[in-house]
Amino acid sequence: MSLALSTRQVAFLRSRAHDLEARLQLGKAGSSEAFRAQLGQALARDELVKVRLGKHVEDDLDAVAAALGAVVVQRVGRVAALYRPAEPPRLELPDGA
């Protein structure tokens, strides 16, 4: 599943992610099945989740997000925000433009 967001929608999600605290941390062990399961649960519950990347992490967060049907909407330093709509969606995104 590929999630395509417009620039306007990404900007909206970035503004919503600004005040969030990082819920998960990806350490040097990489993205294990347990990490992916926790991230999947957090995305199902909250739709928009911040993840802190450890100093020596080599994993590709875009690949992890894609495997979960999510998308990385923001990266600032070692913190990233991921989005995946829930069923039914709780965040009402603006129309794509």
Per-residue pLDDT of the chain (97 residues; tens, 9 = 90+): 457 899 999 999 999 999 999 999 988 777 888 889 999 999 999 999 999 998 888 778 888 899 999 999 999 989 999 999 988 888 888 886 5
Check residue 45 and give its pLDDT: 93
* Full DSSP string of 65-92: HHHTT-EEEEEETTEEEEE---SS-SS-
**Domain range list for the chain:** 7-83
**So what's the pLDDT on residue 97?**
57
Between β-strands 48-53 and 22-26, what pairing exists: parallel, antiparallel or unpaired?
parallel
Residues with Cβ within 8 Å of residue 41, at least 6 apart in sequence: none
pLDDT at 48: 96
CATH number corresponding to 7-83? 3.30.110.60
* % residues pLDDT > 70 (the chain): 96
The pLDDT mean for the chain works out to 89
